[in-house]
Structure 1
Amino acid sequence: MRPRTRAGLPCPEPGGPEGSGRHDGCVEVRRLADGRVAMRRSTDPDGPELVFPADEMARFVSGVKAGAADFLL
């Protein structure tokens, strides 16, 4: 059986290691076939997803690496 997916992200099986609730603050990120990047909250695989163009995600990652998100820590 193929795993369920939404926006290219595999949905964890209920009660499986990915859906056990051990990682309440996690997000899942995946590059889609068309180059966009999808993100979702790992504890809510049927919930909303954010999908970003690749260039936006590259700017975000560059900013994080440069310290632009350090205020969040």
Structure 2
Amino acid sequence: MTDFPNGASCAELGDLPWRKSRYSNPNGNCVELAPLPGGGVAMRNSRHPEGPALVYRAADLRLFAHAVKAGEFDDLLGD
């Protein structure tokens, strides 16, 4: 994976094909993801597209997604 720092500016990452979930609402308050050269994934706030992006290894993001699907963080959501 290309070594991008976590909290990289979107300008540092270059022109990426950002996308958000089809479940996102139209108010623009969404998380967007983009694949990085070498297999990583960048994540940003759609309200601040020029702002910083968090950078993850694909394997780490895959483990997180599996944990979410398994309900491991449901207690953080309240009622």
Letter in 1 for 2:16: L
Distance 1:36 1:22 in 2: 28
**Identity within the alignment, %:** 44
Residues 15-26 of structure 1 mapped to structure 2, 5 A cutoff = 22-24=27-29, 26=30
Match of 1:64 among 35, 43, 68: 68
Give the SS at the match of 1:71: helix
Distance 1:51 1:45 in 2: 14
Aligned residues: 59
Letter in 1 for 2:73: A
CA RMSD of superposed structures (Å): 2.2
The unaligned stretches of length 5 or more in structure 1 are 12-20
- How does the TM-score come out when normalised to structure 1? 0.66
Q: Which residue of 2 aligns with 1:35?
A: 39
Q: Which residue of 2 aligns with 1:16?
A: none
Give the SS at the match of 1:9: coil
Letter in 1 for 2:27: R
Q: Cα distance, 1:52 vs. partner?
A: 0.2
Q: Which residue of 2 aligns with 1:14?
A: none
1:46 aligns with 2:50: yes
The unaligned stretches of length 5 or more in structure 2 are 1-9, 19-25
- How does the TM-score come out when normalised to structure 2? 0.61
Structure with bigger RCO (C-alpha 8 Å, 6+ apart): 2
